[in-house]
Amino acid sequence: MKKKLALALVILILPAFIRGAWFYRGTAERPQIATPDFESFTAPQPPVGNAEPDEAKQLGGMVLVDFSHNNRFVMTEIGALSDAVKQRGGKVELNSDSSLLEFQLKSASAYIVISPSILFTPYEIQLVKNFVQQGGRLMVFTDAARNVVYYDFFSDTVSVYGDVDAVNPLLDPFDIVINNATVTPMGAVWDVPIDRWDYSYRVNLRGPVLLAGEFLPAMINRNDGVFITVSSVGQAYMGAYECFKIAQVHLAATLDAELENTDVCALTIGPGLVRTPGAEAGIAQLAPLYKKTIEEFYEMSRDHILTDEEAGVGFAAAVVLASQFRGQEISSRQALIAAGIYTPSPPAGRSRTAAHPDPVATLTLCRQVAGTLKEQSDGWSRRSLFERQWMFRDFKKHAGMPVEQWLKALSKLESSLEDEDWDAIREQDYHVQTLAEYYEHLMVLARG
């Protein structure tokens, strides 16, 4: 019996022993792995400038910071601001009791509101507006991440209240909208995926329409405001972008017709070719399609290139002169010229000091043009509603200005010619070529 038991144990244990001996044959000899010398390692430090800051100009005054509307910030977050004010000889005070707001604003130079979550009362709003009208500075900060969430136990609903709702009553309403956001998908019509067409539509057309719906009703109620769409010029390989930019031009023209009896102006402006990051990225895709390098592509368009500063100032000039440009598609350069900021170079071969034309013949021609245009506009005014609208809009589109503005410009030109004031004529730069282009357009229509 014992022999049988021993034999069974041997049969049971032996396979395990043989397997263990097979896998664990002697002592493992692991190779040495080189490791970095961590003791001698030092982390590189970022460069630190050694330039000493300029001495802060001592301005004095008191900056009042709102802290009475459950403001969603802590004092350490405005430490740098507080230090900067103190360096300039000023001081920072908190308004933690709204009943003291009127008293504290009397000695304040500036009032700062940061992420409030409680509405200002009508009385407080009026206090702040009076403070600004008397020369005080108002600075408002909002943060979409600093919302207040309310839970209604009775209705089992959650409401999110943002700081924008609290600060908007302190601010003037929007009176200028410029639709400058864009995406620029490039490629042949059949190569651009449909989701990129959809994305371009949402940004380049749907977005401006939504902004029109959001802001124009209030502008119309105030009878004041400017709504600007941004156009572009391009053809091959730019369809997914240009189709919707062209639609923006028609959107502005439609709005101009609908805003005809108001002081709210709608127009379109093209910035020209500006070397922004977006333009650089688009041209990097576009140039190879034209079999050009990026620099060759820019060279093709050098006459239309503006700096970002020039384009931006052109946008600002268009806003200021919106009543002059309403319903039109203009360029930043055109707005700069109209504002007297930019003077175009004379065409090649023509000097600014060239001999003056015959004043009598020029004056006679000016009077003939003005008389013809006045006769035409009077005839258009007697047409049916839709004919009248189409003719006046077609004129403004091709001549660059409405009829009444051209009649005023021609009257001013006539006076300058009568006085032979050539300096005034040069400075005004009447762009009569655009009026000539309108009549060329009529000749094309007449040929059918």
What digits encode the pLDDT tens for the residues 155-201?
A: 788 777 777 888 888 887 778 888 888 888 888 889 989 999 999 99
Q: pLDDT tens-digit profile of 326-367?
A: 888 888 888 887 777 765 554 444 444 455 667 777 778 878
Query: Residue 425 pLDDT > 90, yes or no?
Result: no
Whether the domain at 62-169 and the domain at 198-338 fall into the same CATH topology:
yes
Going by pLDDT thresholds of 50, 70 and 90, the confidence category of residue 223 is: very high
Higher pLDDT, 114 or 308: 114
Q: In terms of DSSP bridges, do strands 273-274 and 264-270 run parallel, antiparallel, or are they unpaired?
A: unpaired
Amino acid (one-letter) located at 414: E
Higher pLDDT, 113 or 33: 113
Looking at residues 126-145, what average pLDDT do you find? Answer: 89
Instruction: Let me know: does 402 contact 419? Beta carbons within 8 Å.
Output: no
Query: Residue 433 pLDDT > 80, yes or no?
Result: no
d(CA 320, CA 405): 16
Helix H segments across 290-421? 294-300, 308-320, 322-325, 332-338, 359-381, 385-399, 403-418
Residue 395 makes CB contacts below 8 A (sequence gap 6+) with 402, 403, 438
Q: Which CATH class is domain 198-338?
A: alpha beta
**Over the chain, what is the mean pLDDT?**
79
**Domain boundaries, given as residue ranges, for the chain:** 62-169, 198-338, 359-447
Coil, strand or helix at 142: coil
In sequence order, the β-bridge partners of residue 157 are 152
pTM of the full predicted structure? 0.57
Question: Of 45-49, 170-174, 219-223, 405-409, which gets the smallest average pLDDT?
Answer: 45-49
Report DSSP state, residue 39: G
Q: Which tokens go with 348?
A: 């090649």
Higher pLDDT, 190 or 236: 190
Burial class (CB in 10 A: 0-12, 13-18, 19+), 423: exposed
d(CA 297, CA 369): 41
d(CA 256, CA 205): 17
Nearest to 229 by CA among 261, 258, 256: 256
Higher pLDDT, 419 or 94: 94
Nearest to 184 by CA among 138, 230, 137: 230
Q: Which tokens go with 276?
A: 């922004």
> DSSP for 266-298?
EEEEE--EE--HHHHHHHHHHHHHTT--HHHHH
**Alpha-carbon distance values, 293 to 166, 237, 287 (Å):** 52, 16, 6
d(CA 306, CA 253): 25
d(CA 231, CA 182): 10
Query: Residue 98 pLDDT > 70, yes or no?
Result: yes
Residue 331 makes CB contacts below 8 A (sequence gap 6+) with 269, 270, 271, 272, 314
In sequence order, the β-bridge partners of residue 229 are 179, 268
Burial class (CB in 10 A: 0-12, 13-18, 19+), 230: buried
In sequence order, the β-bridge partners of residue 267 are 228
Looking at residues 41-67, what average pLDDT do you find? Answer: 68
Looking at residues 72-89, what average pLDDT do you find? Answer: 87
d(CA 153, CA 158): 9
Higher pLDDT, 221 or 378: 221
d(CA 233, CA 243): 10
Report DSSP state, residue 420: T
Query: Best-predicted range by mean pLDDT among 105-119, 165-179, 300-314, 374-388?
Result: 105-119
Which CATH number describes the domain made up of 62-169? 3.40.50
